[in-house]
Amino acid sequence: MPIAILAPEGLPVPPTRGGSVQIYVHALQRSFDDIGVPDVCLLAPERVVRGNKLPSEKVSYRKAVLQILRDTQPHVVQVENRPDFVAAVRSVLPHAKLILNLHSTTFLAGRRLRPAAADGRADHSDAHVAARSRMRRILSSVDCVVVNSHYLQQSISRSFDLGRTRWRSRVIYPGVDATTFCPREDGGIESGAKTFRILFVGRVIRQKGLDVVLRGLHLLQEKNVPYKITVVGRTPPWERTYRAHLETLGEHLPLEWVGFVSPSKLPDVYRSADVLVCPSQREEAFGLVNLEAMASGLPVVASKVGGIPEVVNTDTGVLVAEPDNPTAFARALLCLYQDSAYRLRLAQQARERAQLFSWQRTAECFSEVYEELARWKR
């Protein structure tokens, strides 16, 4: 077992209950099989390894994973999005090459260490300084930090002052299965011909900005646009108040709450829409839903924040420079509805661009990292 990939605790792989990291590692492992990368073992909750099903609970899962690592002694270990697990892995495999694959800044030492606030002021409390120092050591100690966008790479480097320390980082974009995520046959709508179908896919949390879009939809109603907005995604327990606020905003709107949709059914959801809206209010590291929508032949109306512009551009959708402006999103949607030729052009170009982001290419980039680490001496 030369290479071990450690999925996070909690959700299983295959991703029957969703989870962006779980979807990612499942697709990556299948692509390793396709390109012939041998001896890659994915450890994840509910997977059966050596006759035993791995637990989901964090402490039990990590204990079981560490025991497997002790017994199998892989040459390379890839920790998925859990920097706080690196030290424990290093303690049982002091000579293995360690890769930390970061999908966001969420787990970089907790909420205290998010990127700097908009006003530029830093937190100089003792707790913050200690936690920041701890995370800098972790980021510097691994053999490679893989990130999913240049934005995330630069953000981490700035936040942890890594320009003056030794850290090895690599940007590897996620992929999309352009065979599974593909356009519907009719290709689009004619202005005024039928309901304009707007789609939101993602967790229903404040930072995803669904409230901004809902507040702007009155403009479409004033223009007599026959639209419908469908919301796909879970509402976490801690966002119940926010969900109630959204329901109030959408009380007189043509709004459909779908909730969680299994990853296997998501392609059909995209094909049933005319446009995806991604109104993120905070810096999104990448935004895989945008890539899935583009592969499905949808133009994307998205906030111009974080790593989103590395995927979505003016040839594939509309980037909203004021992500907290409801009218800006509504005007972008109205433009796409009224100009069907423009919308169809964006849809075609979105599909073409999405095909540049394949899981096979992602797997090949990781394979290159593994080969480089095999040659590199500490």
Contacts of 362 (CB under 8 A, 6+ apart): 27, 28, 31, 172, 173, 174, 175
pLDDT (tens digit, 9 = 90+) per residue, 259-288? 999 999 999 999 999 999 999 998 899 999
- Residue range 234-238: mean pLDDT, rounded: 96
Per-residue pLDDT for 312 more than 60?
Answer: yes
- Residue range 283-303: mean pLDDT, rounded: 97
Chain CA centroid to CA 126, Å: 32
Locate 276 and state its tokens.
């995806």
> Any alpha helices (H) in the chain, and if so which ranges?
20-35, 58-72, 86-92, 126-141, 150-159, 210-216, 218-222, 240-249, 266-271, 288-295, 326-338, 340-354, 359-375
Cα–Cα–Cα angle for 226, 235, 306, rounded to 5 degrees: 80
Q: How many CB atoms lie within 10 A of CB 130?
A: 12
CA distances from 142 to 138, 338, 370 (A): 7, 51, 13
Give the start-to-end residue ranges of the domains of the chain.
3-175+358-375, 196-354
**pLDDT, position 127:** 74
Closest among 144, 134, 133 to 166, alpha carbons compared: 144
pLDDT (tens digit, 9 = 90+) per residue, 135-161? 999 999 999 999 999 999 999 999 998
* Amino acid found at 226: P
Q: Angle between the 340-354 and 326-338 helix axes, to the nearest 10 degrees?
A: 100
Cβ atoms 195, 272 nearer than 8 A: no
- Please give the mean pLDDT across all residues of the chain: 92
**pLDDT, position 298:** 98
pLDDT (tens digit, 9 = 90+) per residue, 182-232? 998 765 554 445 899 999 999 999 999 999 999 999 999 999 999 999 999
Closest among 89, 67, 68, 82 to 8, alpha carbons compared: 82
pLDDT class for 163, splitting at 50, 70, 90? confident
Across 19-28, 99-108, 161-170, least confident range: 161-170
Q: Do domains 3-175+358-375 and 196-354 have the same CATH topology?
A: yes
In this prediction the pTM is 0.92
CA dist 138 and 107 (Å) reads 12
Token pair 């075609």 is found at: 348
CATH tag, 196-354: 3.40.50.2000
Rg (CA), the chain: 22
CA dist 337 and 351 (Å) reads 19
CATH tag, 3-175+358-375: 3.40.50.2000
pLDDT (tens digit, 9 = 90+) per residue, 358-373? 999 999 999 999 999 9
Cβ atoms 320, 301 nearer than 8 A: yes
